[in-house]
Amino acid sequence: MLKRHDTHTIDAFLGRLGRRIQTEVLATPAARPAMPIILAGGKRLRSRLLWHCAQASIGRLPGTIVADLERAAAAIELAHLGSLVHDDIVDDAATRRNATALHRARGLDTAVRAGTALLHLASALVASLPRPLRGAFASAVTRTCRGQVRELLGLRQPCTPLARLSIVREKTSAFFELAAHCGAQLAGAPLAVQLSLQNFARDLGAAFQIGDDIADLVGSPSILGRANGADIRDGVMTLPVILAQRTPQVRRALRALWIEPRRSHLQECLRLIVKHGAVQEAAREGRALVIRALRSLELLPPGPSRIALETMALEHLATHPATLSGSEVVPVDASHCDRLAGFRSLGSATKRETLPLLGVDVTLDRRLHDLHPTLSLAALSGLPPDQVCSRQDSCDFLQLAARAAALRNQETHPHRLEARPALSITLADCLDIVSFEACTRLSNAEHASFEHGILESLTVRESSPHYAEPHTLTMRRETPAAALR
């Protein structure tokens, strides 16, 4: 047992967090297939970030705050893991954390259901938190899904570095920013400190994704847990690829790869991208983001927590794949950060939600309508206020969740999930996320009850392949155990 003075250390926190995640997943039958991925471990970057942001805000943390921090961190980790399970299906990845990807180990249907269960389990965990944090969680999941959708819609399509970094801000930075937001707000940090920590997390998350994109090209396969070139093979327009496409020779090599995905073509693309300096240039952009992230911490008083946050950022630079691979990386001058000034035009968080997304929303709405007319209600722009139910009314967003279940189960259109996994899973996630947003308008108990009903329906479906009642979801008035612990 931990001694009293050991309970408020980062290691103790992460130990309890790991046990909490395992307990929640084991108690949720539909999510249990994901246990091998959980047991394989992970960096827990977002949870570390949440803890250090809370400590930077208040110093020593009272026990009541630690319990809420643990709940928020577990929700973030579970939602992140659920998104990874679905991403692996969309990308048809062979491995995850040096283990066989879930959809290959257990089958497509089980993996889809497990990823969805993890997302709803995360939402159930935050149901007892204050409404602003529930809203922040729903917003982060929405931004993550939007980023993934924008990436999918842009496969093999021309893209600018600024547009790619905008996608990264959503796809990856959203959960980093959420972790900082939860940590700072639960600790009662002043608004200026909260914003500084969110800015730090946003830039660190973007730098982390750039590093991951570089690792896909030049990182060690044993560390990656997969072969190099998975993203480029699938047509993902990562920053190094975008920068390399300025060269006609690279453009020709990429076209050859995408027309005929042979190993020799992939190796040639990797060689040319490195040869023309795109890896080094992308690394400089990542380093500039880290420097800008460190600048955001200047508002914090000196102390162990600030040092811990700075260390997180500096560790990212020290283990950068471009450095490990032996590529020469030119040191970044502070003025280099100004090259990223275009991001400042994105303005506030509210503005970032809507600026580049209208075209994506329209495209998704059209595709949803093509699959089934009723699905178009799930356009990512969200529901009008008059469509969000009151506590006394029949919950319209339950029907959105039902449509998501129907889409996953392929009950609303003739195309099998196996034939169109990327589209089906992405659209089903979009429907779920609209229901997450609507849940934040409910009371804590009703939010928890809704998620309990969803998890129960996923469990029934898991145990019986012939279960076909996604449209009969009802509100559960009892509060699930996850919301009471």
Residue ranges of the domains in the chain?
190-350, 358-484
Q: Give me the CATH code for the 190-350 domain, please.
A: 1.10.600.10
pLDDT at 252: 95
Instruction: Please tell me the distance from the alpha carbon of residue 141 to that of residue 174, in angstroms, as a whole number.
Output: 8
Token representation of residue 482: 């996850």
pTM confidence score: 0.78
| DSSP per-residue letters across 183-247 | HHHHTT--HHHHHHHHHHHHHHHHHHHHHHHHHHHHS-HHHHTS-TTHHHHHT---HHHHHHTTS
165 within 8 A of 239, measured Cβ to Cβ:
yes
pLDDT at 407: 57
Instruction: Please tell me the distance from the alpha carbon of residue 13 to that of residue 7, in angstroms, as a whole number.
Output: 7
Rg of the chain in Å (alpha carbons): 22
Nearest by Cα to 68 from 2, 10, 127: 127
Instruction: Please tell me the distance from the alpha carbon of residue 471 to that of residue 464, in angstroms, as a whole number.
Output: 16
pLDDT at 401: 57
**Average pLDDT score, the chain:** 75
293 within 8 A of 203, measured Cβ to Cβ:
yes
142 within 8 A of 150, measured Cβ to Cβ:
no
Token representation of residue 311: 């260390």
Which residue has 């009008």 as its token pair?
Answer: 384
Token representation of residue 484: 């009471």
DSSP state of 395: -
pLDDT at 482: 39
Instruction: Please tell me the distance from the alpha carbon of residue 166 to that of residue 410, in angstroms, as a whole number.
Output: 32
95-129: buried (b, 16+ CB within 10 Å) or exposed (e) per residue? bbeeeebbbbebebbbbbbbbbbbbbbbbbbbbbb
Instruction: Please tell me the distance from the alpha carbon of residue 42 to that of residue 81, in angstroms, as a whole number.
Output: 10
Instruction: Please tell me the distance from the alpha carbon of residue 45 to that of residue 215, in angstroms, as a whole number.
Output: 17
C-alpha distances in Å from residue 303, one per residue of 6, 62, 166, 200, 298: 19, 18, 32, 17, 12
β-bridge mates for residue 96, sequence order: 99
Q: Which residues of the chain have pLDDT under 50?
A: 1-7, 322-365, 367-368, 371-397, 411-416, 464-485
pLDDT at 471: 32
pLDDT at 394: 33
β-bridge mates for residue 100, sequence order: 95
C-alpha distances in Å from residue 48, one per residue of 178, 180, 183, 389: 12, 10, 10, 37
311, 317, 318, 323: CA torsion to nearest 10: 180
- Condensed to tens digits (0 to 9), the pLDDT of residues 181-232 reads 999 999 999 999 999 999 999 999 999 999 999 988 988 776 766 678 888 9
Instruction: Please tell me the distance from the alpha carbon of residue 13 to that of residue 54, in angstroms, as a whole number.
Output: 12
